[in-house]
Chain A
Amino acid sequence: MTKGELAMPLTLTPNFSEAGKRYFRAFSPGDDFYEMLIDAHRDLDDGESAMLNAQLILLLANHIGDLAVLREALAKAREGA
């Protein structure tokens, strides 16, 4: 992590893991998450998927709680929209 990144509250480096699970390959936990995410949307139509996404964001935002983190994440997401 560089000095600049230390000052920022939002984690932007790979950060997926699961307690008690051992990963032998660096790509595995991220791929596990991505599969869970896509699977959660299976058989939903576009409207239902959008609703799932909205609820998911609210659930995760409340879990994170820290408004400084959320503000930064919102700004970063807005940049690429």
Chain B
Amino acid sequence: MLQTYTYPKYPYVQPAEQKERVARRYPVVIVGAGPVGMAAAIDCRLHGIPVVLLDEDDTVSIGSRGVCYAKRALEILDRLGVGERVVAKGVSWNVGRTFFHEEEVFNFNLLPEPDHKRPGMINLQQYYLEQYLVERCVELGVDLRWKNRVVSVQRMSDQVRLTIETPDGTYGIEADWLIAADGAKSPIRKLMGLEVEGKIFHDRFLIADVVMKADFPAERWFWFDPPFHPNQSVLLHRQADNVWRIDFQLGWNTDPEEEKKPEKVIPRIKAMLGDEREFELEWVSVYTFQCRRMQEFRHGRVLFVGDAAHQVSPFGARGANSGIQDTDNLVWKLKLVLDGKAPEKLLDTYSSERVAAADENILNSTRSTDFITPKSNTSRLFRNAVLTLAEHHAFARALVNSGRLSVPAFLTESPLNTADEDEFAGRMVPGAPMDDAPVGLPDGGKGWLLDQIGGQGFQLLYFTDVAERLGDRLERLRELTVDAVPVEPLIVSEKAGSVAGARVLHDLMHLVAKRYDAREGSVYLLRPDQHVVARWRKFDAHKVRAAVARAICNQ
């Protein structure tokens, strides 16, 4: 098979403590150097936390695997410092076509949301994302240990002890906190005897990466019951390097080993593309999937993230995207707990908030699965009726569910929110993931709101017409920066301006005020993971401090 990508082989180095035969203690140890574990490690380093990252292998993901990275994950990757590389290498598609039998029933143009930095999604092979994350980990001084496999976990009240196997034998390590990012089959979860509950789907899918020799449109094509693959679904979309991903639904009664053979796969693709189209096969795999999650994502000092904690069907790209959001929710909380500024129970809200998000992902991906692969004659009949009506009627097009693209959860039920006491329109409610908008930066350049928010601490947007007229309010805003858990004021000003001791963002197109339904004097308190905590029509430092205390379980 062809290779468009050369897999790096990362060097194994014997850990110093194994040579010296002493167990060392670390504030955070992460198991699993996939996209989620590495995102956690990078975020820890950006918070100044020393971190050890263990991986049993010594390279990146084999095969393209997760190929869709959605807007929210890209925004987080921006903060982690790899967003630009991922977007530059990835490919965007806008046109999606839906076919039923021989006919195209409709197409749509998924234009990027205007005046947001990042598009709805990009396609990129998982190995590229992992390679960029490895390089960023190295740059930030993550203690990344390849060929280190965890063989036992011992939970204590104030630490976790691990036994790790390397090519040189075993050694012990102690962690204040352990982040388990070791995938759907999570050895950590198994070593701890924990269950993951939910639904297993009796279906198999064949995925093939194909290198096209000639031009082929950069569009997403989804077939329901096509003549070249009767009674099943097929998905085609583009990745980087002229590699195309094709997913064939196979059904349950198929032999995965047999289906993976090129002599079996190539005729399928030829039937789909037509005989004249030249292509080469790069990678083939057969997968099944589950929609399930652990009851709790926190077990004492062990925190489960990504596929280790929850798994979804691939429709909607809610796997890696939601795992990256897990780490975004977790690391700022862990930092506050490590610094003794918040109680450990703040980490229980990592579990409750991300359990709610996982349930939303499981719900949406299960619905997509049920639409794509109907489980009864009646379900198939309704699916086909929707597709037939979709050719002519908008309401039916909205019901066609070939995957609901990963979007961040609105954490409206979170105990960390402070409920509205003033009237606001729009959707930036307490718990909402923030909307982006273009802003003028203090240095005169043009930038984006979300690039100014998050990472290190809480922030307060203060909306005003003219920043220079803030007067003594500015002093009270600045006082928040010296609190134990500081809050940085960000002045969002309708007119460009500057004031001493606070950054002023110029609301260039008046879109920040519009999207946040803000007026003169409105304030928004924001979490480090870019979710809204609370908002008021009038700034009151006592209320802000009370909301911060609530948002870190410090009441």
Interface residues on A, range: 20 to 34
Count B-side interface residues using an 8 Å CB cutoff: 25
Question: Is chain B's binding surface mostly helix, strand, loop or mixed?
Answer: helix
Task: Flag the segment in B18-26, B391-399, B440-448, B527-535 that touches A.
Answer: B391-399
Residues in chain B near residue A38, CB distance under 8 A: 370, 378-379, 382
In the complex, A17→B392 CA distance in Å? 22
- Picked from A12, A24, A27, A34, the residue with its CB within 8 Å of the CB of B394 is A12
* Contact A15–B395 (Cβ < 8 Å): yes
A49-B378, A80-B389 known; A30 vs B394 contact (CB < 8 Å): no
- Asked whether A3 is an interface residue with its Cβ less than 8 Å from the other chain, the reply is no
* Contact A37–B382 (Cβ < 8 Å): yes
- Asked whether A13 is an interface residue with its Cβ less than 8 Å from the other chain, the reply is yes
- Asked whether A11 is an interface residue with its Cβ less than 8 Å from the other chain, the reply is yes
6 contacts between A and B (CB under 8 A): A11-B395, A13-B395, A24-B427, A31-B364, A31-B367, A37-B382
- Asked whether A18 is an interface residue with its Cβ less than 8 Å from the other chain, the reply is no
Residues in chain A near residue B399, CB distance under 8 A: 30-31, 34
- Asked whether B404 is an interface residue with its Cβ less than 8 Å from the other chain, the reply is yes
A24-B410, A25-B407, A80-B389 known; A14 vs B376 contact (CB < 8 Å): no
* Contact B407–A35 (Cβ < 8 Å): no
Closest CB of chain B to A74's CB: distance in Å?
Answer: 13
- Asked whether B297 is an interface residue with its Cβ less than 8 Å from the other chain, the reply is no
* Contact A14–B395 (Cβ < 8 Å): yes
**CB-nearest residue of chain B relative to A14?**
B398
Contact with A along B365-396 (1 / 0, CB 8 A): 00100110000111100100110110011110
A37-B382, A38-B382 known; A49 vs B377 contact (CB < 8 Å): yes
In the complex, A42→B393 CA distance in Å? 27
Closest CB of chain A to B283's CB: distance in Å?
Answer: 32
Closest CB of chain A to B420's CB: distance in Å?
Answer: 13
Residues in chain A near residue B398, CB distance under 8 A: 14, 26-27, 30
Contact with B along A29-50 (1 / 0, CB 8 A): 0110011011001001010010
Residues in chain A near residue B401, CB distance under 8 A: 27, 31, 34
